[in-house]
Amino acid sequence: MSSDAAGANLLEALAQELGPGREIVTELKFGEPSNVLAVAAEQYEAELLVVGSHGLGSVSALILGSVSLRLAVHAPCPTVIVSESGGTITDGPILCAVDDSEESRVAVNSAASLAERLDVRLLLAHAAPDDARATHGEELLARLVVQSGLGTSVERVVVAGEPAEAIVELAAGRGVELIVIGSRGRGALASAALGSVSSAVATRASCPVAIVRADTPDHAAV
């Protein structure tokens, strides 16, 4: 079977698995995957780009996969990375992991929009490396809530520990079905531009992880 026939069959099978009542467009394209997908996302003005990744591993950038990594940095919209163990988003909460950065403020807006549209709870979380910084974390979360106009519709949580590990553990313990985290803008080196925390969370989390860049265009702010 030719590669184009095999690809067409795969797309048809996946569309059938999604079931009726959905508007599904399938396209078979050839080329370097991350480039092709980024161009398609731009063409369709996609609000989210969803891509799979490999499982847990010791080297984040390698385990995450070059395609997922490049899309998280260069795609024109937020990229949702789904691991092999990742499930569907039903009625579980969305967790937005933040620090005191512009990319976190953009991520909060995207997470709030997603939570509203999916009608699920939003958790705003900050990882503090020690007790001395926990107070700063509480102040940061309170400030982000005010700046984003979230009011009482969001739960604020400060957890202690190394950021990526603490966020992943919190998500697992609270039944989170999607983690939203910010990253820096497009850069020359994909792994550096994504950031170690974002990459580590996307690698370790059992639920899907949405990477939102600070330079995400308005039409892709979900």
56-67 b/e with 16+ CB inside 10 Å = b?
eeeebbebbbeb
Report in angstroms the alpha-carbon separations of 26 from 3, 19, 75, 144. Answer: 16, 14, 19, 39
Average pLDDT of the segment spanning 45-56? 79
Domain spans, the chain:
94-220
Average pLDDT of the segment spanning 100-109? 90
Q: For residue 103, name the pLDDT band (cuts at 50, 70, 90).
A: confident
pLDDT at 158: 94
How many CB atoms lie under 10 A from the CB of residue 91?
Answer: 10
Which range scores top for mean pLDDT: 72-86, 131-145, 166-180? Answer: 166-180
Average pLDDT of the segment spanning 14-34? 82
Q: What is the phi/psi pair of residue 2, to 5°? A: -70, 160
Asked whether the predicted pLDDT for residue 197 surpasses 90, the reply is no
CA atoms within 13 A on the CB side of 149: 4
How many CB atoms lie under 10 A from the CB of residue 49?
Answer: 23
Share of the chain above pLDDT 70, in %: 83
Q: What is the phi/psi pair of residue 14, to 5°? A: -65, -40
Q: pLDDT tens-digit profile of 170-195?
A: 999 999 999 999 986 544 344 444 56
Q: Give the single-character DSSP code of 174.
A: T
SS3 88: coil
Q: For residue 26, name the pLDDT band (cuts at 50, 70, 90).
A: confident
- What do you get for the CA distance between the two ends of the chain, in Å? 39
Asked whether the predicted pLDDT for residue 62 surpasses 60, the reply is no
Average pLDDT of the segment spanning 47-52? 90
Q: What is the pTM of this model?
A: 0.85
Mean pLDDT (the chain, rounded): 82
Does the domain made of 94-220 have the CATH classification 3.40.50.620? yes
Asked if 151 and 185 touch (Cβ cutoff 8 Å), the reply is no
